[in-house]
Amino acid sequence: MGRFAFPPPVFRGKGGTGLRETHVRPINRSILLATGGAFTGAGCGLASFVGHSPAFPWLVAACGLASAFACVAAARRQQRAFALKTRELEIALELARAERQAADGELARMKNEFTSMVSHELRTPLASIKAYVEMLIDGEAPDDSTQREFYEVIQNEANRLGRLIDNVLNISRIEAGLVRVRREPVDPADVVREAVDTIAPHARQKRIALGVHLPDESCETLADRDMLYQAAVNLLSNAVKYTPEGGAVSVDVAADEDRRKVLIRIIDTGVGIPPKDLPFVFDKFYRAEANNRIAPGTGLGLSLVRHIVETVHGGRVWAESQVGKGSTFAAELDLVTSDSLLCC
Amino acid sequence: MSEKTILVVDDESHILNVVSLKLRNAGFRVITASDGQEALDLAGQERPDLVITDYHMPHLSGLELCQRLRQSEATSDIPAIMLTARGYQLEPKDTEQSGIRRMLSKPFSPRNLLATVNEVLGIAA
């Protein structure tokens, strides 16, 4: 049984038992058969010889031996085929293990990168806050208007820090199904206006023209106002982040003709997103490599936008882009119609 | 003491402004750039006494900027102070070869930064 030293190292455990049952038994059977054949043939031959019949018994014995050899040869072939199959399975297992290790490595790399990015994103506004506070304490702001400017920087950077913390917390809450959604009739135009006010200081700082086009008539969607605001702020801050100084960002809110849906579009003249990255921009932690060098980010903002619009509100988000020309991010939500009021 | 010129490089305008003000208040002449390429051009023209640069910047990182300054004869002896928000620890060979004399991590104290500047420039506080 030395040749059947099973299970081989990679098959120890449950898999090994299965292989032993399915493959080893037929081989043992054929060896038994061969040995049986040989003995039967030889036995017949001996019996005939004892019975003094000269030619027939040798023929029978020869047939018996030949069938025995044939069976042994077949068993050997089967063994070789089996050894080959075993090797194939070993290789497949090794490959699967290597792939799993690579996937684990990739996940670890993404986690590291994420921790590093979150750390960077938290430290940057904190750095401004601490530096400006120290300057104020040390009396280094020469006049009232500079002091006022410093207070505004501190306020804006504290808000930026707050938004990042909200993004991180909300994405975990939504994913864990722990988020409490407070639906109420909301005019998307109001939410967009509020988000534009929040982002305006950043746009001014980069001399980016911020255009807003809202519908003449008000409309209503059933939504969690705070979440919708967060989605709008994320889309707008991204647009400002990836648009070079002196560029333009515009926000369009429009209801469709039969007032069933509202479309919110954020259009920038930014760096754009390469086509290979476009399908993945809403994925958690995904960062377009080319844009990573332009501005840091956590890869959470757009993922949260998709969660808020699609998972929580049953709407739709998508992006269109041309490298070097700009991107358009769009969100579509259902409006409250007379039908939907009847349903409620 | 003759007025020393310091080139401050950061893509975050708030940081650029606050560092510039701190250094101007301390009597330095300050020039600023918001990315690595602009900083390279400015350093070639103005030959500052010191460069203070952020690490993570678009197009050209702070480390690449320092390495490029080293490679050009006109700017090869300009010392640098690096600010970083990622808690990076650079390899000693990278910092030595790139003329980076000190690393400060963000958030940083403008007071400490000024003390470090004085130390690197050999100015008694």
Lookup result for tokens 């009597």: B27
Chain B residues touching chain A at CB-CB below 8 Å:
12-15, 18-19, 21-22, 25, 56, 58-59, 85-87, 105-111
Reading the block at residue B57, the tokens are 């910047």
Rounded Cα–Cα distance for residues A292 and A283 (Å): 15
Note the pLDDT of residue A2. Answer: 41
The better pLDDT of the pair A333, A65 is held by A333
A217 part of contact set with chain B, CB < 8 Å: no
When mean pLDDT is compared across A55-64, A81-90, A269-278, the lowest value belongs to A55-64
Residues of A in contact with B21 (CB under 8 A): 135, 140-141
Residue A331 predicted with pLDDT over 90? yes
Q: Which residues contact A290 (CB under 8 A, 6 or more apart)?
A: A271, A274, A277
Residues within 8 A of B (CB atoms), A 102-131 only: 116, 119-120, 123-124, 126-131
Predicted pLDDT of residue B12? 87
A131 and B18 within 8 Å at the Cβ level: the answer is: yes
B85/A120 Cβ within 8 A: yes
Interval B22-60: pLDDT, tens: 999 999 999 999 889 999 999 999 999 999 999 888 778
* Chain B residues with beta carbon closer than 8 angstroms to that of A296: 56
Report whether pLDDT(A156) > 60: yes
Cβ-nearest to B85 among A124, A153, A157: A124
According to the model, what pLDDT value does residue A16 have? 40
Residue A242, Cα to own-chain centre: how many angstroms? 23
Closest among B43, B4, B42, B36 to B23, alpha carbons compared: B4
Closest Cβ–Cβ partner in B12, B18, B59 for A135: B18
pLDDT at B102: 92
On chain B, the residues whose CB falls within 8 A of the CB of A153 are: 14
Q: Looking at CA atoms only, how far is residue A335 from chain B in angstroms?
A: 40
Residue A298 burial (10 A CB sphere; 0-12, 13-18, 19+): buried
pLDDT of residue A55: 63
Contact B109 A138 (CB under 8 A): no
**Closest residue to A140, CB basis, from B14, B25, B109:** B25
- Verify whether the Cβ–Cβ distance B15 to A128 is below 8 Å: yes
pLDDT above 70 coverage of chain A, percent = 78
Report the predicted TM-score, pTM, of the whole model to 2 decimal places: 0.64
Tens digits of per-residue pLDDT, A274-326? 898 888 888 877 777 666 666 767 778 898 999 999 999 999 999 999 998 99
Mutation target to probe the B interface, by most B beta carbons within 10 A, among A126, A137, A140, A145 is A140
How many inter-chain contacts (A to B, CB under 8 Å) are there?
Answer: 66
The half-sphere exposure of A259 on its side-chain side, counting CA atoms within 13 A, is 13
Q: Say which residue the tokens 């490089």 belong to.
A: B9
Render A213-259 in DSSP notation, one character per residue.
E--SS---EEE-HHHHHHHHHHHHHHHHHTSPTT-EEEEEEEE-TTS
Q: Which of A113, A110, A227 is nearest to A170 (CA)?
A: A227
Distance from CA of A126 to the nearest CA of B (A): 6
In the structure, what pLDDT confidence band is assigned to residue A232 with cuts at 50, 70 and 90?
A: very high
